[in-house]
Structure 1
């Protein structure tokens, strides 16, 4: 599949984990199972949902993994790193949906083309939704409200996502479910991390506890960073298992506050 053909599609599974950490596994955390259930219900109802939370809590991984199981062919992703205009949003949807020909010059023709394309079931993931403007939210609501479209919209985002969507009453009233992803509690860390990567499978549970309390703090991305450093450290030192010295060496690679 070419780059253009992949535009807007779900990323490869190898991209789920930080820096494509080799050997990392998707673990069925409570948050991931809740995300999957909320998305399943939203697809059945052709509704809007919002999955939000602080950076590194596994939002993208949970959403992508769930959609690979639930609607891999119907899902398209759009993402912005700065505030888009409505014409920019139209164009992004045009490419993400794989529409043929050239984008129409007239807005009314463009809108008709998108509405007709959305008469088939589609799941559109709006990643980093906090960057969308009021006009963009109104445009998505306009497409979703159309009686003939069969559109599920999943808003995801980090800091500010919840506040941004809540500040748009016409949109907020249409959101079917809200889910905030929180950091893992220590009890969950103890069960999840040994299944996350082989280097933790036989690690001393007290080391896992120490790592979480001193450095990872229940943040999955931080756990992935530490694991990445430890994999390198094990290769360089020739050690077979993680010990306290190697673990604390991996901490030195992280920014401290």
Structure 2
């Protein structure tokens, strides 16, 4: 996948790299969609959750024609707000119903038409009421629904507090930092500026700035590109790294 799809910064020539977490997510998402089940992918910010999930779901869209509806929450939504987000994501015609019972019938009818997968991003913003509404729709026998919740650690915490929903989660996956070995394996593939970098410079960059966090690696890479362009140097060195670190402090 090319840089145009990379989500953190505008980073030409960046590539999506196949980490162990992404491979595991691909398998878990494929199994969840096949089972029309629910799963939760959680972990701290910058570990590549959303990118990995979107990559895997795009593969299912392209290879199998899976219909994926993406919804994202930036504040704690009520069940009413969830209804409106789903109405919009499904592209339903006309005006949204005003009465909850009518709204619920409309959504359940739409979700029974054909199989769909919902990606619910930033799920750490969901409260018990919102999670319960997703469970309510998923439990409806006529709906053909798979749901992938993606969020920070708070997502896992809130889900675990909701036993009715938690007991229905098919797969849990936690994203963590890249290990030092993974950094050495995947960062040279992530962007050309690291392809010719000395292994000790990659270790230095990870220990002092990136710390196994993909978002931090993307930010650092953007600054290194700038430094290389301005200095005309052929590759990364410690001086350029220290200059980039100063921008991240």
Cα deviation for residue 20 of structure 1 reads 2.3
Alignment match, 2:217: 223
Match of 2:95 among 92, 96, 102: 102
Cα deviation for residue 246 of structure 1 reads 0.3
Aligned ranges 1:177-192 → 2 under 5 Å: 177-192=171-186
Alignment match, 1:8: none
- Equivalents in 2 of 1:247, 1:200: separation in Å? 12
Aligned ranges 1:51-200 → 2 under 5 Å: 51-71=41-61, 74-119=67-112, 120-200=114-194
- Equivalents in 2 of 1:194, 1:100: separation in Å? 47
- Equivalents in 1 of 2:34, 2:94: separation in Å? 31
Q: Deviations over 1:83-126 (max 9, x none)?
A: 11111110110000111111112221111111111111111111
Alignment match, 2:230: 236
Alignment match, 1:26: 16
Note if contact 1:83-1:131 (Cα within 8 Å) is conserved in structure 2: yes
Unaligned 5+ segments in structure 1 are 1-11
- Equivalents in 2 of 1:151, 1:78: separation in Å? 14
Unaligned 5+ segments in structure 2 are none
Task: Please state whether the residue corresponding to 2:77 is helix, strand or coil.
Answer: coil
Cα deviation for residue 240 of structure 1 reads 1.6
TM-score relative to the length of structure 2: 0.95
- Equivalents in 1 of 2:212, 2:83: separation in Å? 38
Task: Please state whether the residue corresponding to 1:42 is helix, strand or coil.
Answer: helix
Task: Please state whether the residue corresponding to 1:20 is helix, strand or coil.
Answer: coil
Note if contact 1:130-1:165 (Cα within 8 Å) is conserved in structure 2: no
Cα deviation for residue 17 of structure 1 reads 3.3
Task: Please state whether the residue corresponding to 2:153 is helix, strand or coil.
Answer: coil
Alignment match, 1:6: none
Cα deviation for residue 13 of structure 1 reads 7.0
Q: Deviations over 1:109-165 (max 9, x none)?
A: 111111111111111111111211211111111100010100001111013111111
